[in-house]
Amino acid sequence: MKKKMFLRFPRDKVMNPVAYRLVKDFGLIINIFSARITAEDGGHMGIEVEGKEETIKEAIAYLKKSGVDVDDLEKHIKIDAKKCTDCGACVSVCPASAFSADKQLKINLETDKCIACGQCVDACPFRALSMV
């Protein structure tokens, strides 16, 4: 199975090589969507892991025990086409590059890239975005 997760690292946990451990100790395949981590501030990482369901559960337990916050990313973003004006404000804030503009400058959303960080919901001036 595949599972998307959003990991938040407190400042004192940034040196913990969790991605390496997920691969080496749990045998998971990892796809990193986004990452922003600094030694000063901590940070976050959006990942999709692939492996056996039980192994993924064990890996999540390991992450939490290691002091990493783990958010389940079953939710994703939906655009209300009636409200969207194609202003583009959501494009620049999305850390996963889920939004793009076509030749006519119409905004498109690839929901499978979304890591459910919620930043675009706050950024949209027309309240056209919601988490479902």
Q: CB 77 → ligand SF4: shortest distance, Å?
A: 4
Radius of gyration (Cα) for the chain, nearest Å?
16
Query: CA 78, CA 62: separation in Å to the nearest integer?
Result: 32
| Segment (H or E) for 30 | strand 29-38
Nearest to 35 by CA among 65, 72, 5, 1: 5
64: helix, coil or strand?
helix
Minimal distance in Å, beta carbon 30 to ligand SF4?
Answer: 17
**Residues 59 and 22: beta-carbon distance below 8 Å:** yes
Closest to ligand SF4 by CB, 35 or 84:
84
Contact residues toward ligand SF4 (CB under 6 A) are 77, 79, 84-90, 93-96, 98, 107, 114-120, 123-124, 126, 128-129
For ligand SF4, the closer of residues 2 and 52 by Cβ is 2
In this structure, what token pair is assigned to residue 13? 């946990």
- Please state the closest distance from residue 65 (CB atom) to ligand SF4, in A: 27
Minimum distance of ligand SF4 from residue 104's CB (angstroms) = 13
CB nearer ligand SF4, residue 23 or residue 121: 121
